[in-house]
């Protein structure tokens, strides 16, 4: 059974800092890993999608890395801004027994990020 853990659970930083959010998963048989942002009471906004064959993806100030063999991913946010304050979720899409895609995403519990001016 796939389990996803995110550390830290909460993080508070001053504006301008570079920061790293961590995600670990127990089963390395994955198709991809996706990072999402969630504002309070809202849906999920996809930030980055990393395929299992990739090592990293970048979008603007965001960089996500994937080490499938060790079951780890990190989301790096450069020059943080108050508008980055949100909950960040990582989710993995696992390979089902028999090698087919299950489609199911397994989520971590998220990291609550607060960037103060």
Partner 1 sequence: ETGVTQSPTHLIKTRGQQVTLRCSSQSGHNTVSWYQQALGQGPQFIFQYYREEENGRGNFPPRFSGLQFPNYSSELNVNALELDDSALYLCASSAGGERGYGYTFGSGTRLTVV
Nearest to 114 by CA among 9, 7, 11: 11
* Largest interatomic CA distance in the chain: 50
| Segment interacting with partner 1 (CB under 8 A) among 10-18, 64-72, 73-81, 100-108 | 100-108
Please tell me the distance from the alpha carbon of residue 102 to that of residue 57, in angstroms, as a whole number.
23
Out of 34, 65, 73, 80, name the contact with partner 1 by CB under 8 A: 34
In a 3-state reduction of DSSP, which class is residue 5? Answer: strand
| Segment interacting with partner 1 (CB under 8 A) among 14-22, 62-70, 75-83, 105-113 | 105-113
| Segment interacting with partner 1 (CB under 8 A) among 14-22, 65-73, 74-82, 96-104 | 96-104
Write down the least CB distance from residue 62 to partner 1, Å.
15
Write down the least CB distance from residue 14 to partner 1, Å.
25
Q: Which of residues 38-77 bind partner 1 (CB under 8 A)?
A: 41-46, 49, 51-52
Q: Tell me whether residue 85 is exposed, middle or buried, using C-beta atoms within 10 angstroms of its C-beta: 0 to 12, 13 to 18, 19 or more.
A: middle
Q: CA of 50: how far to CAs of 18, 79, 91, 92, in Å?
A: 21, 22, 11, 10
Residues contributing to the site for partner 1 (CB under 8 A) = 4, 31-32, 34, 36, 41-46, 49, 51-52, 89, 91, 96, 100-110
């Amino acid at each position: 059974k796939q389990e996803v853990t995110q550390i830290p659970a909460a993080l508070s930083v001053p504006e301008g800092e570079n920061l790293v959010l961590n995600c670990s998963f127990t089963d390395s048989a994955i198709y991809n890993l996706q990072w999402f942002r969630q504002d309070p009471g809202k849906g999920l906004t996809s930030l980055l999608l990393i395929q299992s064959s990739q090592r990293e993806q970048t979008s603007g100030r965001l960089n996500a890395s994937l080490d499938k063999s060790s079951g780890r991913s990190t989301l790096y946010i450069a020059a943080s801004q108050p508008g980055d304050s949100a909950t960040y979720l990582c989710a993995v899409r696992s390979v089902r027994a028999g090698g087919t895609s299950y489609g199911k995403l397994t989520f971590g519990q998220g990291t609550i990020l607060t960037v103060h001016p």
